[in-house]
Amino acid sequence: MTIVASLWPISTQTSAPVASDGIAIATADIASGIVTYARWPSDLRAVRLCIVGPTTMGGRIDNRRLINGQMLATSRMTAAQWSADQCDALYLGRTTAVERTTIIRSLTNRPILSMTDSDPQCVHGSMFCLRSVTGGVTFDLNIDAVSRSRVRVDPRVLALARRPGSGR
């Protein structure tokens, strides 16, 4: 039963309200919040976030300081430029199915946190799948991908879903 349950994503409403700047700010806030709750096998002074393809957050996440004091150093690249050796975290935007599959497979046995905004059912292998809905941003958690990752995610990441304004 646990194995079957681990194959299904968990959906949680986030609390990042959509302001006049809209979805881009909310998505960037949630993505950086998720990174804050991640723990890599070795301590990182800065988290190297690779952004592949166009995303809903645009440049809103670029080079920010996280709540825990770490810097989030962002690099944008195409799927052809992707190299897992350059990244601690991946934000996968719009790519072709073949590109997405190739990139997700390259994460195997690597300590890389993966997020996307282009997998609404959260079934293609990213750990976190962000999507916009009326009034905010939601994210799904792919338990199977999280359990296979060498990056550990603190369960308090779900607190992102319980902030005021989330409707929960």
pTM of the model: 0.83
* Tens digits of pLDDT across the chain (168 residues): 222 222 234 444 444 444 447 889 999 999 999 999 999 999 999 999 999 999 988 889 998 999 888 999 999 999 999 999 999 999 999 999 999 999 999 999 999 999 999 999 999 999 999 988 887 888 999 999 999 999 999 988 877 754 434 433
Scanning the chain, the segments in alpha helix (DSSP H) are 2-6, 23-36, 97-105, 143-148
Are the C-beta atoms of 84 and 107 separated by less than 8 Å? yes
CA distances from 35 to 7, 57, 115 (A): 22, 15, 9
The CA-to-CA distance between both ends of the chain, in Å, stands at 27
Instruction: Specify the pLDDT at position 37.
Output: 93
Please provide the DSSP assignment of 22-49 as one string.
THHHHHHHHHHHHHHTEE-SS--SEEEE
**All domains in the chain, ordered by first residue:** 10-161 (3.40.640.10)
Cβ within 8 Å of residue 52, ≥6 positions away:
76, 77, 78, 79, 81, 82, 90, 91, 92, 93, 95, 99, 103
3-state DSSP assignment of residue 157: helix
Please count the other Cβ atoms lying within 10 Å of the Cβ belonging to residue 134.
5
